[in-house]
Amino acid sequence: MRHPLRLSDEVWTGDQAVFLTLCTLNRQRHFKTVQQVEIVRAIFFECCDELAFEIPAYCFTPDHFHALISGYCEDGHVRRLLRGFKQRSAYHFKRASGQQLWQRSYFDRTLRSDDAVLPVCSYIAANPVRAGLVGSAAEYPFWGSQIYTRTQILESIAAGQCRPV
């Protein structure tokens, strides 16, 4: 697989919102149980906290992970966050399961400063519905936010305010 072109480091540093997609190696369905998801979710939250990012939304589907992250100071660095997160989560996941976790690289999109964040969060939370995993986002346990309540995001979905990035 060819690596996506990356922008300069300056673009990925500081106060900004970035939509991420990380796929499991060979699209293996690793994220099916609370235990499997919790190993990776806890590390993601730790890494974001350490590197000055908050998490407006995240969602684990069986074979990939979506997140919207937002840097809240000039020290935030997306590449450093993802490098550390993927390395640490892969290590702990392999110790727990004996399997490799991530495919190489990731997909990312920056939000423009005038983009509304809640519709993107709603889009992320509705991903399991679009994938046919559940009938409604409320049924799916592996998504959440540090910023919004599940109720706020579900109301946004119900109002049709989902916006892909």
Q: What is the DSSP code (8-state) at residue 24?
A: B
Mean pLDDT of 27-52: 95
pLDDT the model gives residue 94: 94
48-95 pLDDT, tens digit per residue, is 999 999 999 999 999 999 999 998 877 668 889 999 999 999 999 999
pLDDT the model gives residue 71: 87
pLDDT the model gives residue 5: 53
The closest alpha carbon to 31, from 126, 103, 101, 98, belongs to 101
pLDDT the model gives residue 9: 55
pTM above 0.85, yes or no: yes
pLDDT the model gives residue 3: 54
109-153 pLDDT, tens digit per residue, is 888 776 789 999 999 999 999 999 999 999 999 999 999 999 999
CATH number at 9-158: 3.30.70.1290
pLDDT the model gives residue 81: 93
What is the spatial distance between Cα 12 and Cα 51, in angstroms, rounded to a whole number?
12
| pLDDT at 4 > cutoff 80 | no
pLDDT the model gives residue 90: 97
What is the spatial distance between Cα 74 and Cα 163, in angstroms, rounded to a whole number?
27
DSSP, residue by residue, 37-95: HHHHHHHHHHHHHHTTEEEEEEEEETTEEEEEEEE-STT-BHHHHHHHHHHHHHHHHHH
